[in-house]
Structure 1
């Protein structure tokens, strides 16, 4: 006689993680900068060289890397401190563990 058993997936709690997020969309709204194109024009006027597509990735927090000089430009444009540029999000990562018989 053979027995078939099924083990249901378990959700294991992982470690608490943090994600650092640039608050550019929020700061743009506060300063009535309505589009990434408008922000791009402002940066170009300040002699900051960045492509529109790279700036879009930065604003959407999807850029893998970017120049540190952008920080000073953002601080100048938004007249804020460096700590106001970022927010820290805490989350718990979950892993699904499936075991089979």
Structure 2
């Protein structure tokens, strides 16, 4: 066993903020399509990962898809970035090495 730990990061709205996935303790998808993540700290800071939009609704399980993507990347090597992408009318999570 090498002891190497994969770092997975999640890009927030617009890609301007990036959050370490292991700092996220809860994700919430509300009825407006806003996806937020609560971070592990004493202040219970929340970060908006995606803002809701009336013209492109997120899938009802989009927050679960994020958790699945993070879990799958935890077994990969090197640092990885996960970000939401809207393409062809469909939202999905994509990953790329950092």
Q: Same fold, TM exceeding 0.5?
A: no
Question: Whose strand proportion is higher, 1 or 2?
Answer: 2
Give the TM-score, by structure 1 length.
Answer: 0.28
Normalised by the length of structure 2, the TM-score is 0.28
